[in-house]
Amino acid sequence: MYTGGQLVKVRSASRVYRRFYWLDEEKGELRWEPSKKDSDKARVRLSDIHEVRSGKNSEVFLSVDAAEHFPNECAFSIVYGEEYITLDLVASTTEEANIWCTGLRHLISGLATSASPGDTAREAREKWLSDMFSAADVNSDGFMDENESIQLIKSLSDGVRDNVIKTKLREYLKSIKTGPETDQPVGLTQPHFIELFKDVATRAEVYFILVRYASHEDAMSVDDLRSFLEIEQGINASPEMCLTIVAECEPSAQLREKRMLGIDGFTRYLTCDKCALFNPKKRTPTQDMNRPFSHYFISASHNTYLIQDQLSGRTSLSCFQTVLEKGCRCVSFDVWSFVDNNNEKNLMVHHPRNNRQQAVLGIIHEHAFSSSDFPLILVIRVRATESGQLYLAEQLHEYLGDSLCTAEQINTTVANLTPEKLKNKILLELSGRSQDDLNLSHRDQLANSFINYITYSFAHRLTNAMQVRETPLIPRLAKMCFFKTNIVTGIPQKKTELELSVMPETVASRVATNNAEALVEAGSTQIIRVEPNDSRVDCSNYNPLDVWNMGVQMAALHFQGQYKI
């Protein structure tokens, strides 16, 4: 509103003007670009505005034929002055009209209540946040570090994601420059914490609804809440019901005493189970989860470490956290041997940039079951030397520990291996060089390395061309596998429950077209995973419905590709 926007001014059937309107904060006026003869009249003081009406509810709109060409949802009128003159306007979209109406009503309400005594809703909110900060400041040093700030914000405002809080928090810490450079403790002060909380926890769409119905600044009375429930929610609400909502949802003691609902309490009410369109009882699966794995569709991610496309896209550890929080039950990455400048052996997850494998395992261990208790399938394509594979086995045991489940640990029949019985377990699917690759000549392997330039860094691949000729999985790693991988180029042959067939999308498409019944039959007794072609360097996706319809359980997708198909 302060930056302005184009609105249509309607005065009569033949007098319709498009003007640029904006708010002059210093003078407290609504202004617009005038014609030459009306330069002094192109303004309305906010203090002179009596009412803001939504829709075609003025005399001009009701009497002008031209108004029929404008949607009712985009029209609004401003009533101002001693003679109650109307300024009739039309926005380009419904959202823009709502912003103007809500913002003007809020400003008018603020002017009307600015002189009233007592604490405002804004002051009550800051008092509540100040009390929460003091209670959480165990050291009483007036500072909270990154982890303390994140945990406190999450406890006070449900639904705000960790990555959003972390991003904003780092921006704040960088802007206030706390730390060794200024001889201050690293962390947020109380005012900075309050500012950060308002930034990440205040939802614009909820705030617009609040001020639209609030008769007081930034807070709803019981009558306001009742009007909202009856008009917006279609609920026949009683005063007692509204008081109960205030008592249960409003976190500020001052606002509860005044029987008012602020922005945080209103947000809590709208996001609680009572207002959810989704049935809370369906949060836990109601289906029978005691059947074999091949009876279920499994959400799978391909090249999980990528943020964007495969050629220029960046890599990030946060990708693993994101897909796991979205409920993905299968993540994949490559592991390569690496020697750093100190001649210390490490394992890297890379493309074409590197992330330390230890950090990846730490993220997976922390977030593996954040959204689902059902088993997580970890697909690791091992490209490491024998010594690197030994180190990988040690790291898997160190970071994943008791969560790991191998086929040798199961003292039961294969038919009893079900998602329900393997809750909170991580199942490994490890694969080394295929036997076909091992039989290739050195020249052919170098050629393959050059072809792989399409999807990987040419310089990195060139330096690792000799490394491609590696051995298969060592016995220690092979024993840790839960699933055995078979790369197929045709109809998967009948396998056991623990043998998993993997095929690229082109093979799956050909088999589905030529022999769909055989593919459906194969999927009834084994898990089949379809992966995107390497030619999809932009991380686009094939249509998973095509393979799901053929009974394929795992359609591995590029989650980072914004679901482009």
At a CB cut-off of 8 Å and minimum separation 6, what does 303 contact? 310, 332, 333, 351, 539, 558, 560
Q: Give the count of beta carbons closer than 10 Å to the beta carbon of residue 397.
A: 12
Which of 487, 501, 516 is CA-nearest to residue 553?
501
- Residue 554 sits at φ, ψ, to 5 deg, of -120, 105
3-class DSSP state of 405 = strand
* Residue in 553, 557, 554 with CA at minimum distance from that of residue 536: 557
The CA distance from 428 to 380, in Å, is 8
d(CA 136, CA 399) in angstroms, rounded, equals 30
Q: Which amino acid belongs to residue 132? A: M
Q: Is 400 exposed, middle or buried (0-12, 13-18, 19+ CB in 10 A)?
A: buried
Nearest Cα residue to 540 out of 208, 308, 194, 264: 308
433: closest CA among 467, 460, 406?
A: 467
Half-sphere exposure of residue 228: CA atoms within 13 angstroms, side-chain side: 23
Rounded to 5 degrees, φ, ψ at 121 are: -65, -35
Cβ atoms of 78 and 44 closer than 8 Å: yes
Cβ within 8 Å of residue 57, ≥6 positions away: 77
Degrees to nearest 5, angle at CA 73 with 72 and 77: 75
**Token pair of 94, please?**
């419904």
Q: Sheet containing 499-504: which strands, arranged edge to edge? A: 300-301, 554-557, 527-531, 499-504, 484-487
Q: Are 476 and 392 in contact (CB under 8 A)?
A: no
Cα 330 → chain centroid: 18
Active site residues: 302, 350
Q: Are 89 and 75 in contact (CB under 8 A)?
A: yes
Total residues found in the chain within this entry: 565
What lies within 8 Å, CB to CB, of 193 at 6+ separation is 129, 133, 144, 149, 152
d(CA 263, CA 418): 45
Which DSSP category does 190 fall into? H
Cα separation, 465 vs 339, whole angstroms: 16
